[in-house]
């Protein structure tokens, strides 16, 4: 349906372009002919004398009367074309608005992936975690969570870009690493979406499951920006 609307919008736009060109051409012709007729009428008036009234349509010479009638007919046609252009413009605006609304709806649907939509290879339960390095954003997510589980501060910090790593190190000063990490203990994570901004930057939408203070499992989706540094993918932006 969206494709049909798009084709219809293109046809309308082409029609508007054609009518616009016709309108400009008609305007130029009408201006020239009106000016010619005006000069002819002024010449006729001068030849008859200022004291004589300007002839009515019925008293004009046949050639001038025919020319006047033709011009009036073209003016009427021009007005009809103008009304058609206005109607086509309104239709075109409605089609474009409908296309934009349809596109926006598709985008919103795409952004609302649920945990159950994750592919099997994108589901990572705690029992299967291991250190996988930082060769991809997905590997980095698992390696960082594995480091939290194991209490490996060095591996954990190595998963972050330099500027963010410095901030985290400063926040962890004089604190027990394992105690701090227990607060962000994860039971499972799922990759819901990937958005590649450039060859060295990607955003992952990750769904994390964590136990709350009562021990109940709760889930939350988070967007994290990753940047490729010296061939390795590091977390470059705090989790939003």
| Range with top average pLDDT, 25-29, 39-43, 94-98, 158-162 | 158-162
The reply to whether 102 and 154 lie within a common domain is no
The reply to whether 47 falls in a domain is: yes
Q: Which of 111, 143, 176 is the last residue of a domain?
A: 111
pLDDT at res. 58? 56
Percent of the chain with pLDDT over 70: 70
Would 217 be classed as within a structural domain? yes
Whether residues 209 and 131 share a domain: the answer is yes
Q: Is residue 92 part of a domain?
A: yes
| 8 A C-beta contact, residue 228 and residue 201 | yes
The predicted structure's pLDDT at residue 104: 65
* Domain assignment present for 240: no
Do 139 and 68 share a structural domain?
Answer: no
| DSSP per residue, 124-156 | EEGGG-----SSSHHHHHHHHHHHHHHT-HHHH
Specify whether 124 is located in the same domain as 138: yes
Token representation of residue 135: 């060769």
In this prediction, residue 183 carries a pLDDT of 72
| Residues 131, 224 share a domain | yes
Q: Which residue, 91, 111, 131, sits at the end of a domain? A: 111
d(CA 223, CA 7): 36
On average, the pLDDT of the chain sits at 78
Single out the residue in 111, 143, 163 at which a domain terminates. Answer: 111
DSSP state of 215: S
Q: Is the dihedral of CA 27, 28, 29, 31 positive or negative?
A: positive
Summarize pLDDT for 214-233 with one digit per residue, the tens.
778 888 888 999 999 999 99
- Whether residue 222 sits in one domain with residue 142: yes
The dihedral over CA atoms of 25, 27, 28, 34, expressed in degrees to the nearest 10, equals 140
Please tell me whether residues 51 and 93 are part of one structural domain: yes
Q: Residue 202: which pLDDT band, with cuts at 50, 70 and 90? A: very high
CATH at 199: 3.10.450.50
Is 160 in the same domain as 82?
no
Are both 66 and 95 inside the same structural domain?
yes
In a domain, 86, yes or no: yes
Average pLDDT, stretch 119-144? Answer: 94
Window from 34-38, 180-184, 227-231 with minimum mean pLDDT: 34-38
Same domain, 131 and 96: no
What total of structural domains would you count in the chain? 2
Q: Which long-range contacts (CB under 8 A, 24 or more apart) does 68-73 make?
A: 68/37, 71/30, 71/33, 71/34, 71/37
Instruction: Give the residue with greater pLDDT, 64 vs 60.
Output: 64
Q: Which domain holds residue 143?
A: 117-235
Closest CA to 238 of 223, 220, 228, 218: 223
- Determine the Cα–Cα distance for residues 145 and 140; give it in Å rounded to an integer: 8
Poorest-pLDDT segment among 49-63, 156-170, 185-199:
49-63
Residue 145 structure tokens: 């969570």
- CA 223 to mean position of chain CA atoms: 20
- Cβ–Cβ under 8 Å, residues 23 and 82: yes
Is 10 inside a domain boundary? Answer: yes
Model pLDDT, residue 110: 54
pLDDT tens for 137-157 read 999 999 999 998 888 989 999
């Amino acid at each position: 349906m969206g494709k049909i609307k798009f084709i219809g919008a293109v046809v309308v736009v082409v029609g508007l372009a054609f009518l616009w060109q016709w309108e400009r051409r008609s305007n130029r012709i009408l201006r020239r002919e009106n000016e010619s007729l005006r000069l002819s009428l002024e010449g006729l008036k001068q030849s008859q004398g200022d004291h004589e009234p300007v002839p009515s349509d019925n008293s004009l010479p046949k050639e001038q009367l025919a020319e006047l009638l033709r011009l009036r007919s073209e003016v009427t046609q021009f007005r009809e074309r103008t009304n058609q252009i206005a109607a086509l413009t309104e239709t075109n605006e409605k089609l474009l608005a409908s296309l934009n609304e349809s596109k926006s709806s598709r985008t919103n649907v795409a952004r609302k992936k649920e945990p159950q939509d994750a592919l099997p290879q994108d589901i990572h339960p705690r029992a299967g975690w291991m250190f996988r390095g930082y060769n991809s954003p997905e590997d980095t997510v698992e390696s960082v969570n594995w480091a939290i589980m194991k209490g490996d501060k060095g591996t954990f910090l190595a998963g972050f870009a330099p500027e963010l790593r410095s901030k985290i190190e400063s926040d962890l000063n004089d604190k027990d690493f394992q105690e701090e990490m227990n607060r962000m203990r994860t039971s499972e994570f799922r990759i819901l979406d990937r958005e590649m901004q450039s060859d060295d930057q990607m955003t992952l939408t990750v769904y994390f499951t964590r136990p709350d203070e009562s021990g109940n499992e709760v889930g939350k989706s988070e967007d994290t920006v990753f940047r490729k540094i010296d061939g390795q993918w590091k977390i470059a932006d705090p989790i939003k």
